[in-house]
A and B are shown apart, each in its own frame.
Chain A
């Protein structure tokens, strides 16, 4: 009788521990989603502010607004990069893994925001003489693009070295987003991964040295020994 009780109580305790872990994970899932939501909301607020500033510069002239916009863009560059990283990090630990609907939706929003940010930056470069080089990175899922992960890894390393001098935008071509499709069409992309540095497409996998050469031959970077 005592032995049966031990076996039963043992089962219940184990079940309790399991349920505790399972629900703690659900709570954390919710917190992860909230954290991403918060970051996205903050990004959207920044975009709205930027759009307002852009409109104002058209109306009242660029002198007063350019400096503010430049500072704002630098801050956003960092924020957008961090948000992208967090989405990818949290996405991999969900039960549905890369197909988790929440993170797929966030990825779509993130790509749209990036397209918006890229457009704003390009516009600003013309009007405010911003010296930030832009790099567009187009990728597909691993099954269709075995080298995309590797290229992303190289760009993460380069982003770390070049910091604010380089703005990297990564676009998921599998999400079927119209702005991404327009960009892909504009640059005439036929294969992935593909990296666009200042309007020139470099498709295929490039290691760090090759990518540094491309960047250093295109723009001025403090990291480069041979600047153009």
Chain B
């Protein structure tokens, strides 16, 4: 470049310079290695604090973790080379921290079981197994779904399967669907799954596709009342159906958390699709009404609210605030920096490795650790959102936005419940909680996010090479002409540097 100054100025004016974007998979690998380092250190800390001597289990878990994510990384390189390099490391770190906490709670429960001379059951090895299966599924999704837009072809199938999966536990007899009072399971011989976790993603695909197809309908204005355009009554159909479905989950499956999650996601997707805030207003009104009715009708909803208002007051009641109070005690005991991994007593809280795993993290890693985990979720969702913003098709935008929001919504519902911000509704914490269904479903979610983010940054090979719009001042026109040649080499491997790091 003989005239670097004018060349860069030319690039500044070229809105769509033909070039190859950097894949930055090196960044991803480095970040994954960093995540592996953190997770292995966490394991070592747990071991050191719990058993005073390091056992070979550390090596086993550490290597398993590295191997699993090395494979995932290679798959992303192969099938989604332009995907955001931060998404997978965030997930890997969350998943790894979850494994460490589950392993740590295993140790505590084993100790207690031994002192009570009961059977010891370890859940960490099973969670590792779930992670392996989940990553296999993740690879499968990346390999099969080459372009997220193909999903729209099966939208109605997905929608149907999703509804059936969601309704199935409610329809099946209790013996096949109920665990701990929540009728959300599908008990199969040998293992159980929570179909709702998968239904979440299937229904989001359906909803995104449906909204994109019928977008114009929803954008049509209805009557104006007090200067606000109301949607037409007949367009209220989908949101009413969603509301009824959520109420159904609430009534038949006693699953407040999932109902809340679904409704939030539907609202946000509707809002994104129509760009009209009125849908959010309508939805929130319906939510408030539904919540009031549910509170009047169901004692378990009343109990949850009472536990939320003062868990210490209902501490001794059956189904009372014991669990939340213990979680809060744990968080309070942890304080700013926590007790240190392996030095606290997170096993005091019932369900410490599933619903209350964030209480365990807050206890042992303190506010600092809990904030770090929350920031990881935010980073993950924001990178997903970035993909959604950058992708070119509306379906991708809507699905990416919905999936990203779903992560934060779920985190908000469960962490908010654990920290007494909102009433506790038992749902899993993405990637952290023990449980196969949740992990599997969330890895599919991440695979889709990666697919969308890959599409957003991938050079459009099929698109006709466009002439850069000549916007440079006349005086500099000839320098632009000199810089043209790279456009003929679109997709060539050797000219990454010419891109200058910009992407749409």
A and B are interacting partners: no
